[in-house]
Structure 1
Amino acid sequence: MTHVEHKREAPSSVKCMVLTVSDTRNTDTDKSGKIIIEKLTEESGHSVNEYKIVKDDQKGITEAVTQGIADPDIDVVLLNGGTGIAERDVTIEAVQTLITKELPGFGELFRMLSYNEDIGSAALLSRATAGISEKTAIFSMPGSSGAVKLAMDRLILPEVSHVVREINKGPK
Structure 2
Amino acid sequence: MLKDHKRLAKRSVKCAVITVSDTRTKETDKSGKLMIEFLENGGHKVLQYSIIPDEKTVIQETVKGVTASNEVEAVLINGGTGISNRDVTIEALQPLFAKQIPGFGELFRMLSYQLDIGSASMLSRAIAGVINNRVVFSTPGSSGAVELAMERLILPELGHAVREVTKDLN
Deviation at 1:99, TM superposition (A): 0.6
- In structure 2, C-alpha distance between the alignment counterparts of 1:162 and 1:4, rounded to whole Å: 11
How many residues were matched structurally? 170
Determine helix, strand or coil for the equivalent of 1:19: strand
In structure 1, the partner of 2:29 is 30
Deviation at 1:86, TM superposition (A): 0.2
In structure 1, the partner of 2:92 is 94
Deviation at 1:134, TM superposition (A): 2.2
| TM-score between the two structures when normalised by the length of structure 2 | 0.98
Letter in 2 for 1:11: K
In structure 2, the partner of 1:146 is 144
In structure 2, the partner of 1:21 is 20
Determine helix, strand or coil for the equivalent of 1:97: helix
RMSD: 1.1
- In structure 1, C-alpha distance between the alignment counterparts of 2:52 and 2:63, rounded to whole Å: 10
- Listed one character per residue, the Cα deviations across residues 12-61 of structure 1 (whole Å, up to 9, x for unaligned) are 100100000000000000000000000000x2010000000000100000
In structure 2, the partner of 1:107 is 105
- In structure 1, C-alpha distance between the alignment counterparts of 2:164 and 2:157, rounded to whole Å: 11
Establish whether residue 161 from structure 1 lines up as the match of residue 169 from structure 2.
no
Letter in 2 for 1:54: I
Letter in 2 for 1:9: L
User: Which stretches in structure 2 are left out of the alignment for 5+ residues?
Assistant: none
Determine helix, strand or coil for the equivalent of 2:35: helix
- In structure 2, C-alpha distance between the alignment counterparts of 1:130 and 1:10, rounded to whole Å: 18
Determine helix, strand or coil for the equivalent of 2:5: helix
- In structure 1, C-alpha distance between the alignment counterparts of 2:131 and 2:28, rounded to whole Å: 30
Determine helix, strand or coil for the equivalent of 1:96: helix
Letter in 2 for 1:21: V
Deviation at 1:136, TM superposition (A): 0.2
Given candidates 88, 110, 116, the residue that maps to 1:118 is 116
- In structure 2, C-alpha distance between the alignment counterparts of 1:126 and 1:158, rounded to whole Å: 21
Deviation at 1:10, TM superposition (A): 1.2
| TM-score between the two structures when normalised by the length of structure 1 | 0.97
Structure 1 residue runs of 4 or more that deviate by more than 2 Å after TM superposition: none
Q: Percent identity?
A: 58
